[in-house]
Structure 1
């Protein structure tokens, strides 16, 4: 009698365990409550869920990058419109029928457009500056008390993951979008540049004049640290401001560019329209007119450079658009696989629940009848 009771209790505990499993599957629609229920299936679920989380992170990062890219694209389009406006106004300034008052108005207009360019160059999205280079936390363009605007970002680009172990460069930096190559020199050639120009080599390193002698160029690495690499001698002419010249290394693959800031170009153009030099000293009307004509050609170069940078940005943006589609597709596939592996078959759960109900009924009926037996009847 005692042995039979123990057997009944054991069988009842098994049924209770099964009931808990079926109740869990019904309420959560998940197949496994504990990893020990099916260790092989649990391992597969862990791997698949890890993939889901990975691609969810990639998708979020790419979507954020797309927002930044779209804003950068919009800003570049506005910058091109401003440069087109500047070109049109310089054509008017070079027209003989334009009065001195008209020239003054054009100078004021260009000064205002410079401020618009400054705002666009510091475009910010979600607390990140889109044209700052690899460190998007710093404001890329700064203005001093004299109104001179300087790029303080770097020549690198921030990399964003678009796939597991695969990264792509995002956007363009300040050198790309607000400077233009006023001079280019290759292996063994001669580079000419102004003191305000930024000199960038084929690897993205910047070379700076050594003050106060300005007779040597020193290489700075991508982190902005001075190296022991130098180029000398650097010569200059007697003009104001002077033009410098330097011979490039006789090494294959050498390419140096003297990049002129579009902000500096606008400042110089405004000064010429006002008939003053960079120090505020008056210049002749003939000299001013010659400078304005020259700067008109420089604005054309600046516009071409910005147009190339905009096209480059568009190509990179397209890569992220395609990457988002691919990552979204993979995420969908892994989501489906995760549900197929981990979801309970509700039809099967219903069948098992009904069978369990019948088993419970039969077991309780047996227990009831057993309890009704007297010792005499049991011995019989």
Structure 2
């Protein structure tokens, strides 16, 4: 029985119920009417009331279902014209759809640049993945100096140009490296996941608050993973070639009696092709120690910018246990185009999780472009 038929049946039974109720009042007020007739009418009213209740329940359930279907078919972004507000609303709908395990509407896919043609996988839309990689809230300090790309099966040349004369490379270390390892870098796919807990309050709250909460957590997760693999003193199995400090990466160490002199010697040890664009990545604690030693009561050093003190721009990273000096254009992070989103549940706490699965790699394209500064008693690589 469809909704229209239910409405007609409900009206028919309702009219009969009203008529019987009126008859009961009329006959109960007539002393000449046998009481049995009144009782029969009351029994009939009870039967009609039960029929009415059954029909009403069916009617209300079917009407609510059709209303939900209608609401789901309405464009989620209807009436939103401002581009940024439309993207925020679309991203909020993406996160809510993932958490409630419902399909993403076509208008949301259109705004976010959905790349999933098969419909069988939950690929993160292009707009969202681009913002996560290129507009981070919590920054990996290397993002300002390293190369970042978003390509599948990426292969790149180690150097950006060649000459017909194959001995044009002036740096002998680079020439040896190219001869030993080839002139092309092939990026792999290392899988990792970022889990974002989302409370029901956040999920039901404003679009802006939901998007900000999820985006900041995802951006922080990506940045944390990038820093972890790039500065790992003891890399995880399979991630050895992603760390500046790994013996498999093989970056040359330069020793000095203290870190200041080690950094100066490392800069000088770089070939001029890399020295001109070199930067120093080090901890703020190491830099503070250097300033304290150099100052020796002179406040001038405390006011001087780090570049003037050390001769090259300085980037602070707490994970850089030994200063890394080099041309960071040859540090290259690549994310696979595919990022998959899904939902999960923390069985220990019962909290719902938005889950992002990503694949990436970090390659030191030329180890000759880098040096690691160590104190004199530290072993060299």
* TM-score, normalisation: structure 2: 0.26
**Higher normalized helix content (fraction of residues):** 1
* TM-score, normalisation: structure 1: 0.26
